[in-house]
Amino acid sequence: VEHKADLGIIFDTDVDRSAIVDRTGKSINRNALIALISAVILREHPGSTIVTDSVTSDGLAKFIADRNGKHHRFRRGYKNVINESLRLNANGEESWLAIETSGHAALRENYFLDDGAYLVAKLIVEAACLRKEGKELQDLIADLQQPVESKEIRFKIDTNDFKAYGEQVLEHIKMAAEKEQDWQLVSPNHEGVRIACKGEEEQGWFLLRQSLHDPVLPLNIESNVEGGVNRITERVLNLLSDFKALKQ
Band of residue 212 on the pLDDT scale cut at 50, 70, 90: confident
Instruction: Please provide the average confidence, as pLDDT, over all residues in the chain.
Output: 98
Residue pLDDT, tens place only, 3-34: 999 999 999 999 999 999 999 999 999 999 99
- What is the tally of structural domains in the chain? 2
Contact between residue 185 and residue 69 where contact means Cβ atoms under 8 Å apart:
no
Band of residue 96 on the pLDDT scale cut at 50, 70, 90: very high
**pLDDT given at position 137:** 97
Q: What is the mean pLDDT of residues 75-81?
A: 97
Query: Does residue 172 sit within a domain?
Result: yes
Domain check: are 24 and 120 in the same one? Answer: yes
**pLDDT given at position 138:** 97
Residue pLDDT, tens place only, 28-52: 999 999 999 999 999 999 999 999 9
Residue pLDDT, tens place only, 157-178: 999 999 999 999 999 999 999 9
Q: Cα-flanking dihedrals φ and ψ of residue 224, to 5°?
A: -100, 10
Q: Closest by alpha carbon to 232, among 186, 190, 177?
A: 177
**pLDDT given at position 203:** 98
Domain check: are 96 and 211 in the same one? Answer: no
Amino acid at 121: A
**CA-to-CA distance for 73 and 57, rounded, in angstroms?**
10
Query: Does residue 155 sit within a domain?
Result: yes
Domain that holds residue 195: 149-247
Domain check: are 20 and 127 in the same one? Answer: yes
Q: Closest by alpha carbon to 206, among 216, 191, 215?
A: 191
Domain check: are 99 and 131 in the same one? Answer: yes
**pLDDT given at position 33:** 99
Domain check: are 13 and 123 in the same one? Answer: yes
Q: What is the mean pLDDT of residues 209-222?
A: 96
3-state helix, strand, coil in the chain (%, to 5): 35, 25, 40
Tell me the percentage of the chain whose pLDDT exceeds 90.
Answer: 98
Query: Does residue 1 sit within a domain?
Result: no
Which of residues 117, 140, 163 is at a domain's end? Answer: 140
Q: What is the mean pLDDT of residues 175-185?
A: 97
Which of residues 79, 114, 140 is at a domain's end? Answer: 140
Domain check: are 53 and 89 in the same one? Answer: yes
